[in-house]
Structure 1
């Protein structure tokens, strides 16, 4: 698959705008620390162009790179507020397995056919 995926260029503005705002916040953190693009890119172990893409809100930029940038800024805990789990999962409710399903972690014979 080519790097310039048409699916990313066709994203609606409802997804592009928040990415651009996030990029601007990352840039603000970098500028506040008085780090140049080159210094920040070295800290992130990426190229300056990749950092520019992250700060521009390009949708093809790695989520791992985003997490690394947040960690560098001491903001990694903010990732926990992204797409919070539904209330049932947040309450840590356990789901019971029926005895007919067999023990957890065991692959049934009908699941092996692929």
Structure 2
């Protein structure tokens, strides 16, 4: 379906990903993830790390990773628009875990 709209899927480790848009980061859907155009290696590794969380946590993933991460993303976006100070992205346990897993399982 993505190919129909002109997006070319790429492979990253054992995952498939697509790049589109700007300034939004990424979104993981198990073995597939989406990232902004020109995504850095560290962003792709981070989203790849979420793939392992999905594998290991299975049906608990939405409650332990996806929903808290999405809520936090929007909370941070609101704080940033207000010019407020943000803690480092990886200060939240599931985000640090995703980053660590991505770096461990995908070495450049």
When normalised by structure 2's length, the TM-score is: 0.30
Higher strand proportion: 2
> Rg: which structure is higher?
1
